Each structure stands twice: as structure tokens, then as C-alpha cells.
């Protein structure tokens, strides 16, 4: 049991760092952010070296679909799939191929939601203490496509912006639904 807990912890860290970096790279490229080292983009300086080892070989096999960098998306999925397979091996309960595909997909969606929570909280904190900083600007640009529809629906409350809170609640509801679906499948 202890070995399983340690493996789960280490795999969660790997998924969060590597898979999350692949997902963030995919999303930033979708938003047309320049991530090259010469752009001066602070996230690109860390994101590219962290993901290139996985994304660049996949790009040779998997073309982009429109503005979506499929190699980044598949790379994140493969990292999650490896984690699900590792935990299944340690438990001695490897799911069927269909189950493996579905559970890995649910885990990937869960990772996206967890990353969004972190980005939202970081953006809110930086809007209080680091307003106007390059990082706060970048986080605002990343989150604006998700917050804008909520802002259009909410009535104006002056300087108080409740859209991040509404998005956090929606994400938590989605996480509960995902958790129950995963539990039902397993």
C-alpha cells in the first residue's frame, strides 16, 4: 500500500508538471501567444524546454488541427495514460483498453480543471498585489476567453468582479461530476 501511495504521488507530480505544461502550451498556441525564446515571454522560456522532448517527436507523426496543436494534446494524454497504466499495474487491476482510454480521458479533463483552478487563483492574487505585472497580464489574457461570457451575464457590481468565483464554482461542479463518472466506471 505504501508503494502505491508513493507511486501515485510521484505520478501525480509528473502529470501535473509535464501534462499540464503540454496542455498549457496547446492552449497558449491556440490563443496565438508567441512562445519562442526570443519573444521574451516568461512562460515560453520554461514551457518549451519542459515539453519539447515529448511534443517535437509527436509533431512528426501528428499534424495540427487548425489552431489546435494536436501533438501537445496527445502528449498530455500519453502522460496521463502512462500514469493510469502504472497505477493499474501496481494494483494488479489493469482496465480493459476501452476502460483505459476512457479513464485516461477523464483524468486529462480533471487535469485541465485543476490547472484552471490554479490559474484563476494566481490571477486573482496577482490582480490584488501585482496589478500590471507581465505575469498578471498574461494570466488575464489566458483566462479572458473563459471569464468574458460570465462577465456578460453577470450584472455590473462596480469594481467587484465575481466572474472568477463563478468560474471556480462551475469547475468544482464539473470536478464532482467527473469524479462520480470515474467512480461509476471503476
Three cell numbers written together for 47: 514551457
Sequence-ordered strand ranges (E) for the chain: none
- Name beta bridge partners: 46: none
| Dist CA 96 CA 79 (whole Å) | 18
Residues 48-64: pLDDT tens digits? 889 999 999 999 999 99
What confidence score (pLDDT) does residue 165 get? Answer: 94
| Dist CA 78 CA 119 (whole Å) | 23
Residues 26-55: pLDDT tens digits? 999 998 888 887 777 778 888 888 999 999
Q: 41-45, 50-54, 79-83, 110-114: which has the minimum mean pLDDT?
A: 41-45
CA distances from 161 to 23, 111, 139, 166, 168 (A): 27, 26, 16, 10, 13
Model pTM score: 0.86
Q: Rounded to the nearest 5°, which phi and psi values hold at 92? A: 70, 25
Residues 118-157: pLDDT tens digits? 999 999 998 888 777 878 888 898 999 999 999 999 887 8
Amino acid at each position: 500500500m505504501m508503494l502505491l501511495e508513493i507511486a501515485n504521488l510521484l505520478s501525480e507530480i509528473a502529470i501535473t508538471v509535464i501534462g499540464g505544461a503540454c496542455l498549457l502550451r496547446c492552449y497558449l498556441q491556440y490563443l496565438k501567444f508567441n512562445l519562442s525564446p526570443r519573444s521574451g515571454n516568461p512562460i515560453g522560456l520554461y514551457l518549451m524546454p519542459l515539453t519539447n522532448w515529448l511534443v517535437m517527436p509527436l509533431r512528426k507523426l501528428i499534424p495540427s488541427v487548425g489552431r489546435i496543436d494536436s501533438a501537445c494534446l496527445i502528449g498530455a494524454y500519453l502522460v496521463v495514460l502512462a500514469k493510469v497504466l502504472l497505477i493499474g499495474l501496481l494494483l494488479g487491476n489493469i482496465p480493459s483498453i476501452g476502460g483505459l482510454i476512457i479513464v485516461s480521458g477523464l483524468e486529462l479533463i480533471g487535469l485541465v480543471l485543476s490547472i484552471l483552478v490554479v490559474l484563476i487563483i494566481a490571477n486573482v492574487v496577482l490582480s490584488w498585489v501585482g496589478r500590471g505585472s507581465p505575469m498578471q497580464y498574461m494570466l488575464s489574457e489566458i483566462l479572458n476567453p473563459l471569464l468574458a461570457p460570465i462577465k456578460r451575464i453577470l450584472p455590473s457590481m462596480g469594481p467587484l468582479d465575481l466572474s472568477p468565483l463563478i468560474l471556480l464554482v462551475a469547475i468544482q461542479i464539473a470536478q464532482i461530476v467527473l469524479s462520480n463518472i470515474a467512480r461509476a466506471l471503476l
